[in-house]
Amino acid sequence: MTDFAETKTLFHLPEGVVYLDGNSLGPLPKSAPARIAQAVEAEWGAELIGGWTKCGWMDQPTALGDRIGRLIGAAPGTTTIGDTLSIKVFQALSAALALRPDRRIVLTDMGNFPTDLYMAQSLLDALGQGHVLKAVAPEEVADHLGEDVAVLMLTQVDYRTGRRHDMAGLTAAAHEKGALTVWDLAHSAGAIAVNMIGTGADFCVGCTYKFLNAGPGAPAFISVAPQHAEKTEPILAGWLGHAAPFAFEPAYRAGLGIERFRVGTPPVLQMAALDAALDIWDGVDLAALEEKAATLGNLFINEVEARCPDLTLASPRDARHRGSQVSFRHPDGYPIMQALIADGVVGDFRAPDILRFGITPLYLDEADIRTATERIETVMKTRAYDLPEHREVKAVT
Ligand SMILES: *Cc1c(COP(=O)(O)O)cnc(C)c1O
């Protein structure tokens, strides 16, 4: 069993703050500054270019990928990291489409994160083969799975509402119709127990700066089921996905397995932060994490509903149908969140009216949830959000 009181001590959390935004940017692991400093001074500083081999920099994307792979139930050797999630969505969808050349529909839901929709549409436009991106209501995805669907591309947990798709059921339904699946696990990895192998998912992608706590700008990951990895040519044929990058051949030859999903030079300093973050994750039991998140999330919902009748629950009440966040709606959602942040309860706001709170058992306990809900009650009762300073809209919400 994971000792969550122990994991909480491993994070730097500013005094007086209840941090409910780890679903957007995870906090700093206490070991990260020293690990990053080591990569800067002892590796880059002392080894210079030798670091690529002596310090293992070149192999890190697959080594770190495997540690992430455990968290999402991916097979060893099928995960790599690099780039941003937008790029990994593009790569995964392109590979999946190439495996279903006779079909033209990419099915997704209207709640999907905008960058996933933009990247998909731009890929379909670039392909110029008449593919159509079809976005339907999240509850109706299964009804639209026909024989014409090439790829079912979904974000498992909705970034606004926290609603969770049934990954196993929808993957099975897609396969039954001959479609492949691309699952975006941005709000699943490190939030709930995911079983890529068990669900039979074809492609999984996600980011490491949210629940995985690897810091702003940390690289994304991609996992590809082994039967697919070598079946298509990469759409982004970067030199580090080449079979022999240092042969500097004029023509591209795709690397083995997951290696071909690498593109360019890996972000070494950012990988040092990811390494430190994964040291914590290596010891975590995901089933226990999911159970604790459900308990904390249920407590949060009960307390907010009892204290703040004006806030309307936007997330599923049943924890089995939620990820690890709880959202409420209010027409004044933006200024309310600003007032909460000023009061040390850090969540975020998503247009048009969603107050979003990340529930992260690695560093949040029941006392934090109670403190947060008491402060939310005070902000609502005193209407602290009516102050003009809370109504100024910032660039990042
Ligand atoms: C956070 C998030 C992204 C972010 O993509 P980046 O390229 O890393 O900025 C993409 N998709 C989903 C579903 C997300 O939640």
The minimum-distance atom of ligand 1 relative to the CA of 159 is 15
Element (H, E) at 108: strand 105-109
**240 in ligand 1 pocket by Cβ < 6 Å?**
no
The pTM assigned to this predicted structure is 0.98
* pLDDT beyond 90 at 392: no
- Report which protein residue has its CA nearest ligand 1's atom 6: 85
Q: How many domains does the chain have?
A: 2
- Same domain, residue pair 224 and 341: no
pLDDT at position 52 is: 96
**350 in ligand 1 pocket by Cβ < 6 Å?**
no
Distance CA 32, CA 173 (A): 42
Identify the band that residue 395 occupies on the pLDDT scale cut at 50, 70 and 90. confident
Tens digits of per-residue pLDDT, 2-35?
Answer: 999 999 999 999 999 999 999 999 999 999 999 9
- Same domain, residue pair 141 and 198: yes
* pLDDT beyond 90 at 104: yes
- Same domain, residue pair 37 and 10: no
The three-state secondary structure class of 151 is strand
- Same domain, residue pair 232 and 360: no
Quick check: is 297 in a domain?
yes
**Hey, which of 115, 154, 155, 396 would you mutate to test ligand 1's pocket, going by the most ligand atoms within 8 Å of its Cβ?**
115
Per the DSSP assignment, residues forming a β-bridge with 132 are: 105
What percentage of the chain has pLDDT greater than the value 90? 98
Quick check: is 262 in a domain?
yes
Boundary (domain end) residue, out of 281, 308, 329: 281
Q: Are 83 and 262 in contact (CB under 8 A)?
A: no
* DSSP string across 202-253: SEEEEESSSTT---TTPPEEEEE-HHHHTTS--SS--GGGBSSGGG--SS--
* pLDDT beyond 90 at 217: yes
Identify the band that residue 397 occupies on the pLDDT scale cut at 50, 70 and 90. confident
**115 in ligand 1 pocket by Cβ < 6 Å?**
yes
* 124 CA to centre of ligand 1 in angstroms: 19
CATH code, 119: 3.40.640.10
User: Where in the sequence numbering do the catalytic residues fall?
Assistant: 113, 184, 209-210, 356
Identify the band that residue 1 occupies on the pLDDT scale cut at 50, 70 and 90. confident
**Hey, which of 23, 85, 354 would you mutate to test ligand 1's pocket, going by the most ligand atoms within 8 Å of its Cβ?**
85
- Same domain, residue pair 245 and 371: no
Identify the band that residue 168 occupies on the pLDDT scale cut at 50, 70 and 90. very high
- Same domain, residue pair 339 and 269: no
* 115 CA to centre of ligand 1 in angstroms: 7
Tens digits of per-residue pLDDT, 22-81?
Answer: 999 999 999 999 999 999 999 999 999 999 999 999 999 999 999 999 999 999 999 999
- Same domain, residue pair 304 and 266: no
- Same domain, residue pair 200 and 292: no
221: left (phi over 0), alpha (psi -120 to 50) or beta: beta
Nearest Cα residue to 22 out of 212, 160, 218, 159: 212
**109 in ligand 1 pocket by Cβ < 6 Å?**
no
- Same domain, residue pair 23 and 88: no
**Hey, which of 81, 207, 208, 211 would you mutate to test ligand 1's pocket, going by the most ligand atoms within 8 Å of its Cβ?**
207
Sheet holding 79-82, edge to edge: 79-82, 220-224, 203-207, 180-184, 149-155, 105-109, 132-136
* pLDDT beyond 90 at 396: no
Identify the band that residue 389 occupies on the pLDDT scale cut at 50, 70 and 90. very high
Quick check: is 396 in a domain?
no
Angle of CA points 284, 73, 285, to nearest 5°: 15
- Same domain, residue pair 259 and 219: yes
Whole-number mean pLDDT of the chain? 97
- Same domain, residue pair 320 and 198: no
* pLDDT beyond 90 at 216: yes
Tens digits of per-residue pLDDT, 119-166?
Answer: 999 999 999 999 999 999 999 999 999 999 999 999 999 999 999 999
- Report which protein residue has its CA nearest ligand 1's atom 3: 85
The minimum-distance atom of ligand 1 relative to the CA of 220 is 8
CATH code, 22: 3.90.1150.10
Boundary (domain end) residue, out of 281, 315, 343: 281
The residue count for the chain: 397
> 203 lies in which domain range?
32-281
The minimum-distance atom of ligand 1 relative to the CA of 210 is 1
**11 in ligand 1 pocket by Cβ < 6 Å?**
no
Query: Average pLDDT for residues 379-396, to the nearest whole number?
Result: 92
Boundary (domain end) residue, out of 223, 248, 281: 281
Tens digits of per-residue pLDDT, 301-340?
Answer: 999 999 999 999 999 999 999 999 999 999 999 999 999 9
pLDDT at position 181 is: 99
Quick check: is 397 in a domain?
no
* pLDDT beyond 90 at 393: no
